[in-house]
Amino acid sequence: MMKYRDEFAREDLAEAFSRIIKDIGLTENINLMEVCGTHTHSIAKYGIRDMLPPNIRLLSGPGCPVCVTPNLFIDQLTVLAEMPGVIITTFGDMVRVPGSFSSLQETKGRGADVRICYSPDDAVRIAEENPDKKVVFAGVGFETTAPGVAAAIIDAGEKNLSNFFVLAGFKTLPNALRALAQMPDLNLNGLICPGHLSVVTGTSIYREMAEVFKIPCVISGFEALDILETIRLLLLQISEGRAEVENGYSRVVRDEGNPKAMAILGEVFRETDSVWRGIGNISSSGLVLNEKYSRFDALNLINVNIPAPVEPSFCICGQILTGVKTPADCPGFGKACTPDNPAGACMVSSEGACAAWYRFGRNIE
């Protein structure tokens, strides 16, 4: 049994996995989708596509939290940033995401106070140190990061902070997966399920995909051999006519997940309908602050009408996030849209499909 990270990246073992996958012998076109941005990055980094038979296609799904965040959220952040006495705190990727009219980076260049945090606890500390300012934390992410923000909100409440706020743009995965399964043109044959998120949620959130939609699901780690083993397990399910949930990352993920983290989500947030870039509005797929903690909701600070959001005319980020298109299909990819000058969210985040394809260009089809 392998115990160390470098063992999961051995080239000889990866080549052996590649041969095993080819020997399964499936000849029909197979579409497998990863729904985790870190998997998207790893697949490009390790050249996984090049190790597979040409009939096995890997599609990038809506697993990058920065990417699925709609322009309206960015527009709300920039409006807040331009308000007097407001400090915006955020993870680094969000600063460069273009909104309809501006990015936080551009707003900062015009004099706004925008600060990068490594943890929501940093934002709470900034609020303590600046009692005369309103400190807003940009809350994006899935079930993986939302518990940490919930804990920070509880901490702010215990400290009686009246100047700490969260703009909540959190997403939850189950109903988004249901929406993908019902897309008529996607023809999804299997899911490479996220490892980090599953540490929190456990394995049960994928049961509907397997039992109702008959789509095989395997939870995967992030090293080359993790992903190749996940693909092997998915192809075996397909070849045998099975659709089950398998845990290929059992060294980290437990079936029950992290009950404490899920409990803290329930303590602070409630489910709501949420707009996903590329998919649209999905019922009960977002988290907002519940009534008990509504005093920390940054939306309470916005007192102006925000224009309807718009997207760059050539950007196909939404289609890339649903596996309908690849980055190479975008007319702006590598030209009008690069990591240094991103036109869409998928090129900004290190977990975005466009950024991964651009960085590891050998995988561009």
Note the pLDDT of residue 307: 87
Identity of the amino acid at 4:
Y
Q: Tell me if the domain spanning 66-173+258-301 has CATH number 3.40.50.11740.
A: yes
The dihedral over CA atoms of 231, 232, 233, 239, expressed in degrees to the nearest 10, equals 110
Phi, psi dihedral angles at 62 (to 5 degrees):
-85, 60
> Across the 365 residues of the chain, what is the mean pLDDT of every consecutive 10-residue run?
56 83 92 95 93 95 92 95 97 91 94 96 98 97 96 98 98 95 90 98 97 98 95 97 97 97 97 93 97 97 88 85 91 91 89 92 49
Q: What angle do CA 255, 258, 259 make, to 5 degrees?
A: 100
* CA–CA distance, 65 with 54 (Å, rounded to integer): 29
pLDDT tens per residue, range 115-157: 999 999 999 999 999 999 999 999 999 999 999 999 999 999 9
The length of the chain is 365
The predicted model scores a pTM of 0.92
Note the pLDDT of residue 363: 39
* CA–CA distance, 62 with 102 (Å, rounded to integer): 23
Q: Which two tokens stand for residue 225?
A: 């051999």
Sheet holding 190-193, edge to edge: 56-60, 30-34, 190-193, 217-219, 245-247
Alpha-carbon separation of residue 257 from 37, 131, 176, 203 (angstroms): 20, 38, 19, 7
The dihedral over CA atoms of 240, 245, 248, 251, expressed in degrees to the nearest 10, equals -150
Note the pLDDT of residue 364: 44
Count of CB atoms within 10 A of residue 241's CB?
A: 8
* CA–CA distance, 62 with 278 (Å, rounded to integer): 8
* Secondary structure in 3-state letters for the chain: CCCCHHHHHCHHHHHHHHHHHHHCCCCCCEEEEECCHHHHHHHHHCCHHHHCCCCEEEEECCCCHHHHCCHHHHHHHHHHHCCCCEEEEECHHHHCCCCCCCCHHHHHHCCCEEEECCCHHHHHHHHHHCCCCEEEEEEEECCCCHHHHHHHHHHHHHCCCCCEEEEEEEECCHHHHHHHHCCCCCCCCEEEECHHHHHHHCCHHHHHHHHCCCCCEEECCCCHHHHHHHHHHHHHHHHCCCCCEEECCCCCCCCCCCHHHHHHHHHHEEEEEEEECCCEEEEEEEEEECHHHHHHEHHHHCCCCCCCCCCCCCCCHHHHHCCCCCHHHCCCECCCEECCECCCHHHHCCCCHHHHHHHCHHHCC
- Nearest CA to 265 among 221, 193, 205, 184? 205
Note the pLDDT of residue 305: 87
Would you list the domain boundaries of the chain?
66-173+258-301
Note the pLDDT of residue 185: 80
Write the CB contacts of 84 (distance below 8 Å, at least 6 apart in sequence): none
Tokens 């996220």: give the residue.
194
